[in-house]
């Protein structure tokens, strides 16, 4: 059973930065996907960034490209989402997700493909 422990989040003014962390445990192999999704009230869950453990660059939503950076520490099975130049529209509940796949769509896999989820952490950006 994979378990995810999220940390980070909080409130910040527009233009500020925050870092989210998600530590995973319970993987049965070094092959896995980890991602951050977000969901604002009344909106669908949106994939923010995703990464595959063995190869390939992270995938980002167009709305965060150039502002967010996803990195993976394979030794710790931990992903970090560095969020910079934050905007009020980035405000949402952010969820870490993980799965060992395989995913036909790779890092483009939708939320429904992920079996394991964190409890969520709130990010609020004020103007």
Tens-place pLDDT, residues 45-63? 999 999 999 999 999 999 9
Task: Specify the residue for token string 């493909």.
Answer: 113
Q: Report in angstroms the alpha-carbon separations of 120 from 4, 31, 56.
A: 10, 23, 26
Residue 85 near residue 68 (C-beta atoms within 8 A)? no
Q: What is the pLDDT of residue 90?
A: 98
Q: What is the pLDDT of residue 18?
A: 98
How confident is residue 1, by pLDDT bands cut at 50, 70 and 90?
very high
Residue 24 near residue 32 (C-beta atoms within 8 A)? yes
Closest CA to 4 of 31, 24, 19, 27: 24
Q: What is the pLDDT of residue 113?
A: 97
CB count within 10 Å of CB 78 equals 19
What's the CA gap between 85 and 62, in Å, rounded?
A: 14
Tens digit of pLDDT for each residue in 60-109? 999 999 999 999 999 999 999 999 999 999 999 999 999 999 999 999 99
How confident is residue 4, by pLDDT bands cut at 50, 70 and 90?
very high
């Amino acid at each position: 059973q994979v378990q995810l422990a999220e940390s980070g989040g909080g409130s910040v003014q527009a233009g500020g930065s925050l870092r989210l962390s998600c530590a995973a445990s319970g993987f049965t192999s070094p092959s896995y996907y980890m991602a951050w999704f977000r969901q604002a009230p009344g909106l669908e869950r949106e994939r923010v960034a995703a990464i595959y453990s063995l190869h390939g660059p992270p995938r980002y939503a167009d709305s965060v490209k150039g502002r967010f950076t996803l990195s993976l520490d394979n030794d710790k099975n931990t992903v970090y989402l560095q969020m910079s130049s934050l905007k009020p529209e980035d405000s949402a509940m952010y969820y870490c997700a993980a799965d060992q796949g395989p995913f036909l769509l790779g890092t483009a896999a939708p939320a429904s493909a992920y079996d394991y989820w964190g409890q969520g952490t709130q990010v609020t950006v004020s103007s």
